[in-house]
Amino acid sequence: MTTFTEQTRERAREIIARYPADRSRSALLPLLHLVQSEEGYVSPAGVEFCADVLGLNKAQVGAVATFYTMYKRRPTGDYLVSVCTNTMCNVLGGQEVYDTLAEHLGVGHDETTADGKVTLEHAECLAACDYGPVMTVNYDFFDGVDPQAALGVVEELRSGGRPMPTRGARLCTLKEMAVQLAGFADEREGAVADGGPGEPTLRGLRLAEQHGISVPGYDPNTPIRSKAEADAAAARAKAAEQAKPAPATTANGSTAPDVKAPDAKSPEVRAAETRQPDARTAVPDAPGTRIPADPTPPTPRDAREAEAAGVAANAPAGDGKPAGDEAGAQERSLKEAQK
């Protein structure tokens, strides 16, 4: 069983401190990345570590770790190669890229090469459809790949190289990436890349401009800035605001303007806001339901007592499978998965 390093423990304390004291379980997602940064996957020891530091039980942590595909439940290669085979990439050749890599590496989905370097997986939409077909290595993008380009990337990785992705800094290992995903600064040169959107992303906007299509109130000449440019513009605007002379005081001592500020929102937005119900808006009961006018609030219960009552009321199914938190169940499952 792994004993996590003092650095990991220190980082865990730092992560938990980011959240309000009574909301510490919100730290679970970055903590899972953190344990993955040490072991390369979320092991039973990692699950136990997260449960211990957050006061959860292992079933609760396991439920989260098994829900998200970014948390790996078995040892994973230094480089996780994800090929998008979803609709847009697929019609552009994504499946061919995946099949070529699978045949060349001799592995299938979620399998790792014998040298431990590369884990291959097919991915659902990687949110870069405008650059399809895309693949990522440890979540850094290679845009518009074809089978030959993809083979070149994995061969460079297997020979110890760290190729440059299309965007961002030179590739790092999955463990290094997990540190970033846990919310710690990436010190690599150029790691925090910046820049405006590429032309494929702006294609729809350009077409709209050509055809004179825009939503009411939208100025098509609005500059599209990188984050650095936007931050600089915001800083200039703030400095200009602060440099303005203080407004003259009126006879009654007020500095407030006497005129009513114009309503800058468009009539469409105003109408939408008016239609949008909130918690105070009276709405009719849905058919077949009746919400009591004065519901009795539930009695607060101790979370552990409530959980124990839930466990007692939900006996394991009769298929012989252990309940989620039974000691050793995850270890056994993992060993079986590794056979």
- Return the structure tokens found at 87: 């609709």
Is residue 157 a contact partner of residue 79, using CB atoms and an 8 Å limit? yes
CA distance 119 to 98: 12
Shortest separation between residue 201's beta carbon and ligand FES, angstroms: 12
The least distance separating ligand FES from the CB of residue 150, rounded to whole angstroms, comes to 14
**Number of residues located near ligand FES, criterion CB under 6 A:** 12
Encoding tokens for residue 313?
Answer: 């009321």
Which residues between 105 and 164 bind ligand FES (CB under 6 A)?
125-129, 132, 134
Determine the Cα–Cα distance for residues 304 and 178; give it in Å rounded to an integer: 31
89 binds ligand FES (CB under 6 A): yes
Residue 191 Cβ, how far from ligand FES at the closest point, in Å?
22
Based on the shown chain and the rule CB under 6 A, indicate whether residue 208 belongs to the binding site for ligand FES: no
Binding flag, residue 83, ligand FES (CB under 6 A): no
**Residue 44 or 94 with smaller CB distance to ligand FES:** 94
Under the binding rule (CB under 6 A), the answer on residue 97 touching ligand FES is no
Are the beta carbons of 108 and 149 closer than 8 angstroms?
no
Compute the distance between CA of residue 288 and CA of residue 293 in angstroms, rounded to an integer. Answer: 16
Residue 86 binding ligand FES, by CB under 6 A: yes
307-311 contacts, C-beta under 8 A, 24 or more apart: 307/57
Q: If phi over 0 gives left and psi between -120 and 50 gives alpha, with beta otherwise, what is residue 71? A: beta
| Closest distance of CB 122 from ligand FES, Å | 11
Task: Give least dist CB 304 to ligand FES, A.
Answer: 43
Residues that bind ligand FES (CB under 6 A): 84, 86-89, 125-129, 132, 134
